Amino acid sequence: MIRAILTALILLTGTPAVAQPLVIAHRGASGERPEHTRSAYELAVEQGADVIEPDLVLSKDGVFIDRHENEIGGTTDVADRPEFADRKTTRTIDGVATTGWFTEDFTLAELKTLRARERLPDLRPGNVAHDGRDPILTFEEVVAIAREASARTGRTIAVAPELKHPTYFAGIGLPMEDAFVAELERLGLAGADAPILIQCFEVGPLERLARRIDAPLVQLVGAGGGPADRPDLTYAEMIAPEGLRAVAAYARWIAPEMTLVLPRDSAGRSTAPSALVGDAHAAGLKVVVWTLRAENAFLPVERRRGEAMADHGDMAGYAQAFAGAGVDALFSDFPRIVDRALK
């Protein structure tokens, strides 16, 4: 019960509420199950996650679908389905040409016939054993998983949906914002006390959502480049003190890529923490970093163990370093490791 109360406080209030940062299961326990599946989300809750994250794209008939990208050739069995062979095409999304199969070319009924696959089979061969077991989920189904888990565990399990490529979807006649607001209202997740964190890399959608709903918003920022909808703005400008104050006008959280908090030198080793966490807190923002993964391929040199990039290194120590830097939450593919390290 105490943990549930503290989770709600740190989600909703303007200042950190607990010494231990929230653990956000990045697409579920995606280090151990194919991402964005019921199996991954339920395992994440068992492993201590406070929040589960679905990435949201749209189907042809306007339903919010839980996939990392709207291109699904790498995360489902669609490439092996002869009835969908003619759907393979090339689209330019946020300036990048991508070839594959796209959710916006499939109805929900068609998408529901597909099965999830591991996105990183070379790094996570153990997950391949779970290929084909889980269907694609809708946002509503992910919310139901969180609510079922909350009732079962007595903890508040929140959701952290990320709106993917809203400008792109608007450009093909599938605007996200009206449909998303309607979905939040229908699910009772539009209020200030809703157990939700709504993320986006773009700025305009968050600014407009802030005028329509009271639920907490999260501005994602990358280590380079800038928002797809704001060619005049870079992420570097957004994490400067003045930029953070601008973000705080519409969002409660800033979500930097992890090396913006613990930078790495030219040899790939961590250096001292940047000023970002302190600057963000001074602006009234909480900080969640993304994404902690256990494989050597994603860790700084000093945290790697073993020879192969798929070997697991010291992610627990890395999580502790971020907690020491003052972050309020951590995205991770391995929520059990983070939860134990922080406790």
How far apart are alpha carbons 193 and 206 in whole angstroms?
Answer: 18
How far apart are alpha carbons 68 and 54 in whole angstroms?
Answer: 8
**DSSP string computed for 191-229:** STT-SB-EEES-SHHHHHHHTT--S-EEEEE-SSS--TT
Q: What is the pLDDT of residues 36-47, one digit of tens each?
A: 999 999 999 999
Q: What is the pLDDT of residues 322-337, one digit of tens each?
A: 999 999 999 999 999 9
Mean pLDDT (the chain) is 95
The predicted pLDDT at position 5 comes to 46
Q: What is the pLDDT of residues 134-193, one digit of tens each?
A: 999 999 999 999 999 999 999 999 999 999 999 999 999 999 999 999 999 999 999 999
Number of compact structural domains in the chain:
1
Q: What is the pTM of this model?
A: 0.94
pLDDT at 85 over 60: yes
How far apart are alpha carbons 168 and 96 in whole angstroms?
Answer: 11
Element at 98 (helix H, strand E): strand 96-100
CATH number of domain containing 336: 3.20.20.190
The predicted pLDDT at position 68 comes to 97
**71, 72, 73, 78 alpha-carbon torsion, rounded to 10°:** -130
pLDDT at 318 over 50: yes
The predicted pLDDT at position 277 comes to 98
How far apart are alpha carbons 206 and 172 in whole angstroms?
Answer: 20
Output the six-digit token pair for 181.
């607001």
* Neighbour-count burial for 35-65, b at 16+ CB within 10 Å, e otherwise: bbbbbbbbbbbebbbbbbbbbbbbbbeebbb
Domain containing 187 equals 2-342
How far apart are alpha carbons 17 and 36 in whole angstroms?
Answer: 28
* Neighbour-count burial for 284-306, b at 16+ CB within 10 Å, e otherwise: ebbbbbbbbbbbbebbbeebbee
